[in-house]
């Protein structure tokens, strides 16, 4: 099935899934897409560069793009922490401030995050209005530059978090409403394996609308129409180094235009809807991201590649097993021991336990299949390969210690990237954001790049 056929095949059933799930009053935010799903979520994009590495190396490569802003910088991240990555952001803010002063007008900067510490989350205002940090607290509370160093900026810093588990998990950057970055990494200190892509084209307005509907203050919403945005599509790959022969960090220029793209919003939900161990799992919120992930597995005809930090969401585990039963090969890369306490609190289990159960159930269907199944038209179960990410022994400082990339590739034709993990928190409570790309060239390039850089960084489980 070609990519052009695949987007049509998935699109109508997926829109039906959304309509069936949201034919009721929805209060979780953002839900602006309910009024016009096709217009607000179905779009196209131009892909300019692919980045694989740690959060620090990715932000280092993105620094020229961030500093190129002439009007506005919007940075949304889940976790904000004092780190080398944050220092890079601080350097960019000082550069933009100097640019604003030289131009005689202030550059607009909006920094949005959800979490900075356990105490911050416990004491956070329980309202979607969030908390706006006064300039005098920037340096002491968030380790930002002193306001005296940022006089060329019209800057606002805002956080939103709702107990018990409603973390706002998306990560994205918008530069002058013309370019967007979709990274998996936070502004934080962890040496984890991450990825990012840079984008232009109509998809950028989807990022802007998402930010406007959820994060923007009323003043910013009113001013949106007055921001000057150039129409030409800039070349973002000019300052990106060439493919580094499979070594990390890897920064690869792309030149892919007019890619059919789906902007996959996933609103937060305060009710975790827990069930007792002997009860059947509750249905997941029918968000665009959740329903699209399930629909993409249903569409698979040959193979599925999944890389996720954790894997504890019962609906996706069921979907994986159903996909294997149809004879589809699957390769899963995840982490054995990443944020164990968080998994136990939000899911009541861990990735390693869920992987063990998945293997056991897969072996059951493999052993019980027989020649009569093939005669009856039932497919032989697909091959299942599972690996845990491990750091390479050949590298030292800057070597990723865990995998934090969130990536699904279906039949080397469809790619889904973004913030959503395949764990219970992402599927049931966290606000997430994903983007789906229907393009064989990108899917194959991404899979080739991952295969190359993950050599020596995988421990086989099955």
- Residue-wise pLDDT for 360-403, tens only, equals 999 999 877 655 555 555 679 999 999 999 999 765 668 999 99
| Measured distance CA(105)–CA(109) in Å, rounded | 13
pLDDT of residue 124: 95
The pLDDT-based confidence of 36 (bands split at 50, 70, 90) is confident
Token pair of 179, please? 């370019």
DSSP 381: P
d(CA 145, CA 452): 39
CA neighbor of 53 nearest in space, from 324, 450, 387, 318: 450
Asked if 281 contacts 275 with a C-beta cutoff of 8 angstroms, the reply is yes
Provide the pairing of β-strand 192-200 with 179-183: antiparallel
Per residue in 221-277, pLDDT (tens digit) is: 766 555 554 444 555 654 454 455 568 899 999 999 999 999 999 998 888 888 877
pLDDT at 360: 96
pLDDT tens sequence across 87-141: 999 999 999 999 999 999 999 999 999 999 999 999 999 999 999 999 999 999 9
Q: Which pLDDT tens digit goes with each residue over 409-432?
A: 999 999 999 999 999 999 999 999
pLDDT for residue 441 is more than 70: yes
Average predicted confidence (pLDDT) for the chain: 90
Say what the alpha-carbon torsion angle 254, 257, 258, 261 is, to the nearest 10 degrees.
10
DSSP 167-191: EB---EEEETTTEEEEES--BS---
For the segment 343-369, the average pLDDT, to the nearest whole number, is 92
Q: Record the tokens describing residue 41, joined without a space.
A: 């979520």
Residue range 15-34, pLDDT digits in tens? 998 888 775 545 678 888 88
Q: Find the helix or strand (DSSP H, E) in which 410 lies.
A: strand 407-410
Share of the chain above pLDDT 70, in %: 89
How far apart are alpha carbons 220 and 213 in whole angstroms?
11
Q: How many C-beta atoms surround the C-beta of residue 155 within 10 A?
A: 22
10 Å CB burial of residue 35 (0-12, 13-18, 19+) is: exposed
Which domains, and CATH codes, for the chain? Answer: 54-258 (3.30.870.10), 263-460 (3.30.870.10)
The answer to whether residue 1 scores a pLDDT higher than 60 is no
> Are 381 and 358 contacting, i.e. CB atoms less than 8 angstroms apart?
no
Which string of b and e fits 298-319 if b means at least 16 CB within 10 Å?
A: bbbeebbbbbbbbbbbbbbbeb
What are 434's strand-pairing partners? 264, 418
pLDDT of 436 over the 80 cut: yes
Angle at 439 (CA atoms; ends 435, 445), nearest 5 degrees: 95
């Amino acid at each position: 099935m070609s990519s052009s056929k695949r987007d049509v095949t998935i699109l109508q059933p997926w829109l039906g899934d959304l309509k069936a799930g949201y034919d009721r009053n929805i209060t979780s935010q953002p839900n602006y897409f309910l009024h016009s799903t096709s217009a607000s979520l179905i779009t196209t994009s131009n892909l300019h560069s692919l980045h694989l590495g740690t959060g620090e190396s990715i932000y280092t490569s993105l620094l020229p793009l961030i500093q190129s802003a002439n009007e506005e910088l919007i940075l949304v991240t889940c976790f904000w922490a004092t780190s080398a990555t944050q220092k890079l952001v601080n350097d960019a803010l000082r550069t933009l401030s100097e640019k604003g002063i030289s131009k005689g007008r202030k550059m607009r900067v909006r920094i949005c995050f959800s979490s900075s510490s356990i105490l911050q989350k416990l004491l956070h205002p329980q309202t979607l209005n969030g908390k706006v940090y006064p300039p005098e607290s920037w340096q002491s509370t968030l380790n930002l530059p002193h306001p005296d160093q940022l006089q060329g900026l019209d800057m606002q810093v805002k956080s939103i978090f709702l107990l018990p588990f409603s973390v706002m998990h998306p990560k994205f950057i918008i530069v002058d409403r013309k370019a967007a970055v979709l990274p998996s990494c936070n502004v934080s200190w962890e040496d984890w394996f991450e990825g990012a892509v840079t984008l232009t084209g109509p998809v950028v307005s989807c990022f802007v609308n998402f930010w406007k509907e959820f994060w923007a203050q009323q003043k910013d919403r009113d001013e949106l129409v007055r921001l000057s945005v150039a129409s030409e599509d800039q070349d973002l790959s000019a300052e990106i180094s060439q493919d580094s022969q499979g070594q990390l960090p890897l920064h690869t220029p792309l030149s892919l235009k007019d890619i059919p793209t789906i902007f996959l919003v996933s609103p937060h939900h305060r009710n975790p809807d827990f069930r007792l161990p002997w009860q059947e799992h509750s249905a997941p919120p029918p968000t665009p991201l959740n329903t699209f992930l399930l629909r993409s597995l249903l569409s698979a005809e040959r193979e599925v590649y999944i890389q996720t930090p954790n894997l504890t969401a019962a609906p996706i585990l069921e979907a994986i097993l159903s996909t294997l039963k149809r004879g589809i090969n699957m390769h899963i890369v995840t982490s054995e021991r990443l944020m164990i306490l968080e998994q136990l609190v939000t899911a009541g289990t861990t990735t390693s336990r869920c992987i063990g159960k998945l293997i056991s159930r897969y072996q059951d269907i493999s052993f019980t299949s027989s020649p009569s199944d093939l005669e009856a038209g039932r497919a032989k179960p697909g091959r299942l390969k599972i690996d845990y990410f491990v750091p390479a022994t050949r590298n030292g400082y800057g070597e990723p210690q865990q995998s934090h990339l969130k990536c699904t590739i279906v039949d080397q034709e469809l790619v889904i990237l973004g913030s959503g993990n395949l764990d219970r928190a992402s599927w049931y409570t966290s606000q997430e954001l994903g983007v789906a790309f229907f393009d064989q060239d990108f899917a194959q390039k991404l899979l080739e790049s991952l295969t190359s850089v993950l050599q020596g960084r995988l421990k086989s489980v099955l």
